[in-house]
Amino acid sequence: MPVPALAVPVARRMAITAATFAVAILAACGQQHQGGFQMPPAQVSTVTVEPKTIPVTYEYVGQTTGSKEVEVRARVTGILEQKYFQEGAAVKQGQRLFVIDPKPLQAQAAAAEADLVRARAQLAQADREAARLKPLAERKAIGQKEADDAASNAEFAAANVRSAEAKLREVQLNLSYTNVAAPITGLTSRAPKSEGSLVNANDTLLTTIWQVHPIWVPFAIPESDQLALQKEVAAGRLALPKDNAFDVSIKLTDGTVFPRQGRINFADSRVNPSTGSVEYRAEIPNADGALKPGQFVRVKLAGAKRMNAFAVPQIAVLDGAQGKFVYVVDKDKDGKDIGAVRPITLGEWVDTPDAKDGNLWIVESGLKSGDRVIVDGVAKLRPGAPIMLGGAPGAPGGPPGGSAPQAKDKGAAPAGDAPAKKS
């Protein structure tokens, strides 16, 4: 389509303007390259690292389980007659749960009682006979064998009485098993058998009960982590609580922390060959039943301390081709402040509860006492670029959002808790 005559001069003017602007940009770049134009130094803020004793924590995955777990099974064979509890509800020790039809055993008990009465009558008769013949034998009125036989019959009758009594106790015991009571206080599971079902002695599972106060949380520490901790302790860089006296807290799957703390009540003395880890178990008070068996949680162990450790804010740690690094304040040949790259080796990540301190990394190597680490303004830094100290958090030289928490040359912040894993 032909361009209108009046539009041609306007288009030419726009093209000339764009070309002129491009030439100006190139000229400015050339001046910058030749030293005629300098970018202003980035404003930064720093922290000065000093060795400190820093509390650390370790986190591991665990799963809750009852401190007692009891399978309630039928102890006599019979028909399940009645269920007296709500499945999944809490029950108390001694509370009736089921009734198995007692009538067959009641009949057996009646027969055993009759057998006992008969045996006692026979014993009484044998005792009377032995008592009658004994003086006759002493006067030689009868033979000694006849008196001895009478005494033996009395002993046999006494044995029959004891046997009948034992049989009656056995039947009465089985009869008591038809009334199934809760062996412990706790939470019930479902009942696999419904009323009218045949249950077999010592075989049929009726329900399961978990004692949830206190509740247990088994967890495992990998052997590699265990060895690393032992090396740090041996080198004097780490102090652990004696006798595993950690303060144990539980973090739920939604990130909330369970309001009650516990303790470690078991530490295995061997490495599990199937998992390559050492098994531990925490005990948590749970009187209100807030924790249920089978929940996946994170077990947080507090009480360990890093000795003479360096820590830097997480925002100061960057990733490079050779690994983690930070920028530290250095001097160029003219004595001006510049940002220098310092490779570091990281340890635990310390989650500080104080918001102004932010999150911290334990630095195992790469820094020395007195180093000033740049924490704000790192987004615009280049190795060897000039810097201006004293930039406030959120200043133009800082990272987006102004999230750096430190002021100029402020000492390393007190550390809080740290998970065991590095990232």
List, run by run, the mean pLDDT of 10-residue segments along the chain (423 residues).
42 41 40 53 91 92 96 97 95 97 97 97 95 89 89 95 97 97 96 96 96 96 94 93 94 95 95 95 95 96 93 91 92 90 89 61 92 89 88 37 35 36 36
Closest CA to 210 of 98, 91, 96, 62: 91
pLDDT at 38 (0 to 100): 62
Same structural domain, 192 and 332? no
Assign residue 316 a region: left if phi > 0, alpha if psi is -120 to 50, beta otherwise? alpha
Q: What is the C-alpha to C-alpha distance for residues 351 and 420, in angstroms, rounded to an integer?
A: 11
- Given a contact cutoff of 8 angstroms between Cβ atoms, the answer to whether 120 and 161 are in contact is yes
Residue 243 shares a structural domain with residue 269: yes
Residues 202 and 276 in one domain: yes
**Where do we find the tokens 């009942």?**
191
Q: Which of 294, 327, 343 is the last residue of a domain?
A: 294
Distances (CA, A) of 335 to 160, 299, 330, 331, 338: 111, 51, 9, 5, 9
**Same domain assignment for residues 341 and 365:** yes
The strand order across the sheet containing 96-100 reads 179-181, 96-100, 78-83, 198-199
Which residues form the domain of 164? 102-177
Q: Are residues 95 and 106 in the same domain?
A: no
395 and 336 in one domain? yes
- Does 192 fall in a domain? yes
**Gap between the Cα atoms of 300 and 280, Å rounded:** 12
Domain count, the chain: 3
Amino acid at position 10, single letter:
V
- Do 203 and 83 lie in one domain? The reply is yes
Nearest to 341 by CA among 356, 324, 362, 358: 324
Whether residue 10 lies inside any domain: the answer is no
Whether 36 is covered by a domain: the verdict is no
- pLDDT computed for residue 408 by the predictor: 35
Write out the two tokens for 422: 């590095």
For residue 1, being part of any structural domain is answered with: no
In a domain, 406, yes or no: yes
Residue 4 is assigned to a structural domain of this protein:
no
- The two three-digit tokens of residue 346, written as one number: 């990281």
Question: What is the C-alpha to C-alpha distance for residues 198 and 320, in angstroms, rounded to an integer?
Answer: 70
| φ, ψ for residue 98, nearest 5 deg | -140, 160
Asked if residue 81 belongs to a domain, the reply is yes
What pLDDT shows up at residue 382? 87
- 116-143: b or e for each residue (b if 16 or more CB lie within 10 Å)? beebbebbeebbebbeebeeebeeeeee
The CATH number assigned to the domain holding 368 equals 2.40.420.20
**Helix axis angle, 103-138 relative to 144-177, nearest 10°?**
160
How far apart CA 247 and CA 48 sit, in angstroms, is: 31
Residue where the block lists tokens 């013949």: 133
Cα gap 354→113, rounded to integer Å: 77
Q: Are residues 288 and 322 in the same domain?
A: no
Q: What is the rounded CA–CA span in Å between residue 251 and residue 262?
A: 12
Are 196 and 153 in a shared domain? no
Q: Output the pLDDT for position 110.
A: 97
Check residue 187 and give its pLDDT.
95
Answer with the one of 146, 177, 208 that is the final residue of a domain: 177
Looking at residue 352, its pLDDT comes to 62
Domain at 144, CATH number: 1.10.287
Within a domain: 2: no
Per the listing, tokens 């924790």 go with 291
Rg of the chain, C-alpha, whole Å: 42
Looking at residue 262, what DSSP letter applies?
Answer: B
